[in-house]
C-alpha cells in the first residue's frame, strides 16, 4: 500500500480516472475527478453500508450517526449540523477560537511548542465555549489530548486505532454528561433537544455522538493550520499579502485545503446496477472515491503539485473539484457540513500566523504520505516571541 499516493499510481498506470483492484481481499473500483465525484455523491447511487473497513468506521462513523443515515432520516439529522453552523454561529465560533488562541500563544511565549498541540488546544477551548460548555484548565488538558488522540487514531490500524477507540468511549461518556446538564439556549442544548424525522428525541448515546461530531472535527482543523504554517514558512512571499487582504487569506486557506494530505478517500457501495465512464457496477460493488487524487487531478488543476493560492483568487472552486471535505451538496448528500466553518477558522489562523512574531527552529518538515493522517514529522515546532 502506497498510502495517500496509492490511487494516483493506479490512475497513472492505466491512464484513466478509474481502475479496479483488490483491497483486503475485496474487489474495489478506485475513482477520481469531478465527473466521478458527481456520480458518487449525487443521485443516491451509493450507500455507506459496508463501505469502509470496520476499524476506520468505528473511529469515524459511529453507529446511528449522521454519516450512516440515508434519505429523510439523513436530511433531518443533517439539518441540525447546518443550522447550528449558520453564518452568525460561524462568526461566534471564530471569535471564541481567536480568544483561546491568544491565551495559548501568550502562555507559550519564549518556549518551543508544537503548533499542532497549540492550535488543537485553542480549537478545543474555543469550540467548547461556543457550544455553551466552557472548560476549566484541567478539563481543557484532558479534552484536548483526547480529541487529538482520536483524530490521530482515526485512519490507522492496530494500537493507534485501538487507542483512538478507547478514547472515544471515554469522551462519549463525558459528552453524555455534558448534554444532560446543558444550559438552555446553547448549542449543546440544541443537540440534546434535536428531534429525528419521526419526531423522537435522539437517544442519549446518539446525541453524544453527534455532539462529538461537532467538537472533534473542529479540533482536527489544527492539522490544516499546521500545513498552513508550513506553507507560510516555505513561501514567505505570501506573508504580507495574506496579512493585508482577507480575499488573499481565503485563497491561501483554500490552497492549503487542496494540498494538505488529510482525508484521503470516501467509500461507497453501489445501491443498484449501473454504468459510468465505461465501468459497470452490480448492486453491492465497492467504490472508493479518491479525494486526495481529485484535489491533485491534472485535468482539474494547472500544475497540481505547485502551491499556488492565486488559483483561487479570481474564481470560486467548483464544488466537485475541490473536495478535501467531500463533494456534492450539503443538504442532500454527505458533504461535510463543517466545511464553511473550516475555511473561516483556517483563514483566520493564517492571518494570525502571518502577523505574529515567532521563530521556527531547525526540525524535520518531511511529511510521510504512508501515515494517516499525515503531518510534518515534528508537528511543526515554533517559538512564539
Ligand atoms: C478538519 C477539517 C475537516 C475535514 C478534513 C473534514 C472532512 C470530512 C469528510 C471527508 C467527510 C465525509 C464526506 C462523506 O462521507 O462523503 C466529512 C463529513 C462530516 N463532517 Fe467534516 N471535515 C472537517 C471538519 C469538520 C467540522 C469543523 C465539522 C463540524 C463542526 C465536521 C462535521 C462533519 C459531519 C457531521 C460529517 C458527516 C456529514 C454527513 O454524513 O452528511 N467536519 N467531513
Q: Which atom of ligand 1 has the smallest separation from the CA of 77?
A: 41
Distance, in Å, from the CA atom of 127 to the CA atom of 116, rounded to the nearest integer, reads 16
Cα(359) to centroid(ligand 1), Å: 33
Q: What is the CA radius of gyration of the chain?
A: 20
Q: Which atom of ligand 1 has the smallest separation from the CA of 127?
A: 30
**Residue with CA at minimum distance from ligand 1 atom 17:** 336
Distance, in Å, from the CA atom of 374 to the CA atom of 206, rounded to the nearest integer, reads 29
**Residue with CA at minimum distance from ligand 1 atom 33:** 336
Residue 281: the pLDDT is 97
Q: Is there an atom of ligand 1 within 6 Å of 61 CB?
A: no
Cα(265) to centroid(ligand 1), Å: 12
Cα(131) to centroid(ligand 1), Å: 18
Distance, in Å, from the CA atom of 311 to the CA atom of 326, rounded to the nearest integer, reads 20
Please list the pLDDT of the chain residue by residue as tens digits (385 residues). Answer: 579 999 999 999 999 999 999 988 899 999 999 999 999 999 999 998 766 655 454 445 567 899 989 899 999 999 999 999 999 999 999 999 999 999 999 999 999 999 999 999 999 999 999 999 999 999 999 999 999 988 887 665 566 667 777 888 899 999 999 999 999 999 999 999 999 999 999 999 999 999 999 999 999 999 999 999 999 999 999 999 999 999 999 999 999 999 999 999 999 999 999 999 999 999 999 999 999 999 999 999 999 999 999 999 988 889 999 999 999 999 999 999 999 999 999 999 999 999 999 999 999 999 999 999 999 998 899 999 9
Cα(203) to centroid(ligand 1), Å: 22
Residue 168: the pLDDT is 85
Residue 55: the pLDDT is 45
Cα(213) to centroid(ligand 1), Å: 8
Residue 44: all three cell numbers together: 443516491
Residue 258: all three cell numbers together: 487542496
* DSSP notation for 18-80: EEEEEETTEEEEEE-SHHHHHHHHSSS-EE-TT-S-HHHHHHHS-TTSGGG--HHHHHHHHHH
Distance of CA 278 to the CA centre of its chain: 31
Helix H or strand E segment including 298 = none
Q: Is there an atom of ligand 1 within 6 Å of 93 CB?
A: no
Residue 50: the pLDDT is 64
Residue 195: the pLDDT is 97
Q: Which is nearest to 297 in space by CA: 19, 16, 28?
A: 16
Q: Is there an atom of ligand 1 within 6 Å of 213 CB?
A: yes
Helices 204-234 and 115-130: angle between axes, nearest 10 degrees: 140
Residue 159: the pLDDT is 64
Convert 311-344 to b/e letters by CB count within 10 Å (16 or more is b): bbeeeebebbbbbbbbbbebeebbbbbbbbbbbb
Q: Which atom of ligand 1 has the smallest separation from the CA of 81?
A: 35
Q: Is there an atom of ligand 1 within 6 Å of 384 CB?
A: no
Sign of the torsion angle spanned by Cα atoms 213, 218, 219, 220: positive
Cβ proximity of 166 and 176 under 8 Å: no
Tell me which CATH code domain 3-384 carries: 1.10.630.10
Residue 165: the pLDDT is 75
Alpha helices in 154-245, H assignment, sequence order: 159-180, 187-192, 204-234, 239-244
For 77, 84, 101, 196, the CA distances from 193, given in Å and listed in that order, are 12, 12, 30, 10
Cα(338) to centroid(ligand 1), Å: 6
Distance, in Å, from the CA atom of 28 to the CA atom of 189, rounded to the nearest integer, reads 42
Cα(263) to centroid(ligand 1), Å: 9
Q: Is there an atom of ligand 1 within 6 Å of 81 CB?
A: yes
Question: Residue 120: CB partners within 8 Å, gap ≥ 6?
Answer: 144, 147, 148, 219, 222
As a residue count, the chain comes to 385
Amino acid at each position: 500500500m502506497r498510502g495517500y499516493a496509492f490511487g494516483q499510481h493506479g490512475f497513472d498506470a492505466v491512464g484513466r480516472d478509474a481502475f479496479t483492484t483488490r483491497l483486503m481481499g475485496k474487489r474495489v473500483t478506485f475513482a477520481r475527478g469531478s465527473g466521478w465525484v458527481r456520480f458518487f455523491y449525487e443521485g443516491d447511487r451509493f450507500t455507506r453500508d459496508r463501505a469502509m473497513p470496520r476499524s476506520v468506521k468505528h473511529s469515524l462513523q459511529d453507529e446511528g450517526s449522521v454519516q450512516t443515515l440515508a434519505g429523510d432520516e439523513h436530511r433531518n439529522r443533517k439539518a441540525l449540523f447546518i443550522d447550528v453552523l449558520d453564518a452568525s454561529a460561524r462568526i461566534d465560533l471564530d471569535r471564541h477560537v481567536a480568544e483561546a488562541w491568544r491565551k495559548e500563544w501568550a502562555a507559550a511565549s519564549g518556549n518551543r511548542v508544537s503548533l499542532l498541540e497549540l492550535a488543537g488546544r485553542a480549537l478545543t477551548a474555543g469550540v467548547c465555549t461556543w457550544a455553551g460548555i466552557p472548560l476549566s484548565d484541567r478539563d481543557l488538558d484532558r479534552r484536548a489530548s483526547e480529541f487529538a488522540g482520536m483524530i490521530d487514531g482515526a485512519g490507522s490500524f492496530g494500537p493507534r486505532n485501538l487507542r483512538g477507540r478507547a478514547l472515544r468511549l471515554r469522551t462519549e461518556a463525558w459528552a453524555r454528561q455534558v448534554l444532560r446538564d446543558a444550559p438552555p439556549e446553547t448549542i449543546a442544548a440544541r443537540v440534546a433537544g434535536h428531534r429525528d424525522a419521526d419526531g423522537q428525541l435522539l437517544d442519549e448515546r446518539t446525541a453524544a455522538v453527534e455532539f462529538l461530531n461537532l467538537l472533534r472535527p473542529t479540533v482536527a482543523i489544527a492539522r490544516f493550520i499546521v500545513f498552513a504554517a508550513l506553507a507560510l514558512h516555505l513561501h514567505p512571499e505570501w506573508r504580507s499579502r495574506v496579512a493585508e487582504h482577507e480575499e488573499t487569506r481565503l485563497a491561501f486557506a483554500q490552497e492549503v485545503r487542496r494540498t494538505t494530505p488529510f482525508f484521503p478517500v470516501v467509500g461507497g457501495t453501489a445501491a443498484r446496477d449501473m454504468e459510468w465512464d465505461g465501468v459497470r457496477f452490480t448492486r453491492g460493488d465497492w467504490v472508493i472515491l479518491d479525494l486526495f487524487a481529485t484535489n491533485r487531478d491534472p485535468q482539474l488543476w494547472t500544475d497540481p503539485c505547485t502551491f499556488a493560492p492565486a488559483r483561487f483568487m479570481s474564481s470560486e472552486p467548483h464544488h466537485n473539484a475541490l473536495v478535501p471535505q467531500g463533494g456534492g451538496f450539503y443538504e442532500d448528500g454527505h458533504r461535510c457540513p463543517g466545511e464553511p466553518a473550516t475555511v473561516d477558522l483556517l483563514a483566520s489562523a493564517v492571518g494570525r500566523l502571518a502577523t505574529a512574531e515567532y521563530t521556527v527552529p531547525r526540525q524535520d518538515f518531511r511529511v510521510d504520505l504512508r501515515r494517516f493522517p499525515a503531518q510534518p514529522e515534528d508537528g511543526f515546532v515554533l517559538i512564539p516571541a
